[in-house]
Amino acid sequence: MKIVVPIKRVVDYNVKVRPLSDQSDVDLNNVKMAMNPFCEIAIEEAVRLKEAGTATEVIAVTVGTSASQEQLRTALALGADRAVLIETDVLLEPLAIAKALAKVIEKEAPKLVILGKQAIDGDNNQTGQMLAALLGYGQATFASELSIDGDTASVTREIDGGLQTIKVNLPAIVTTDLRLNEPRYASLPNIMKAKKKEMDIQPVDGLGIDVAPRLELLSVEPPATRQAGIKVDSVEELVGKLKNEAKVIS
């Protein structure tokens, strides 16, 4: 069984992002970039399935600039067998990314596609669902547990009311939640081996898809600064402030 794992290059989650001075976008100058954390979970799950003998090949795919090769090499060091870069210098929206991924998946014909439920930059939580719709595949989102049995996948999903277990026929799209697994660290030997693994680079213009943006970015602004808190000396003073100043109790 072949597994395709789409990943994304994002600002490292430890970095505090700031807008550009003209508020036209996020300032990415000299900012540390990394693989999206949910994508790391997806790679880990695919590699575990391969190690268990369920899968035969893991293919990492990303849509982005040439700099995204760094994250693909990380995926290869974590256990992916080969990588595909759909190269573009334009920041694509989820629908355009889903269209590009669909072209790769149609060519590779995997039984399973595992990707993060969302990227921590846009937090859209759209690509997996759009990809399933474009391909006509079954989908299981927010997976906290995954098992494969023949031509079906059993997925435990995290929902508002608790957990839900469903079965989907393969081929299928699965999006990962945080509790699915704990990603491994790439060892130095695997990092060296990753440099020799195959990476296919294709321009997005050669896919014959419409990647025109549907949205217009007006401005990027930091959240409003919270007012400083105060300390009170007694419960009575707290109740008085909640009643008279905050008006949250009567």
Helix 127-135 and helix 94-108, axial crossing angle in degrees, nearest 10? 50
CATH number for the domain spanning 79: value is 3.40.50.620
Residue in this structure with the two tokens 């277990």, named with its chain if needed: 165
Hey, is 55 helix, strand or coil? coil
Domain that includes residue 130, residue range: 2-244
Report strand pairing: 152-159 vs 138-149: antiparallel
Residue 70 lies in a domain: yes
Residue 193 lies in a domain: yes
The phi-psi region of residue 83 (left if phi > 0; otherwise alpha if psi is between -120 and 50; otherwise beta) is beta
Q: How far apart are CA 75 and CA 5, in angstroms?
A: 9
Q: Each residue of 15-29: pLDDT tens digit?
A: 888 888 898 888 888
Residue 249 lies in a domain: no
> For the chain, how are helix, strand and coil distributed in percent, rounded to 5?
30, 30, 40
Please give the pLDDT value at position 45.
97
Residue 60 lies in a domain: yes
Q: How many domains does the chain have?
A: 1
Q: How far apart are CA 141 and CA 166, in angstroms?
A: 10
Written as tens digits, the pLDDT of the chain (250 aa) is 999 999 999 999 998 888 888 988 888 888 999 999 999 999 999 999 999 999 999 999 999 999 999 999 999 999 999 999 999 998 899 999 999 999 999 999 999 999 999 999 989 999 999 999 999 999 999 999 999 999 999 999 988 888 999 999 999 999 999 999 999 999 999 999 999 999 999 999 999 999 998 988 899 888 888 888 888 899 988 888 888 877 777 6
Residue 22 lies in a domain: yes
Q: How far apart are CA 154 and CA 140, in angstroms?
A: 9
Tell me if 59 sits within 8 A of 86, measured CB to CB.
no
148, containing H or E segment: strand 138-149
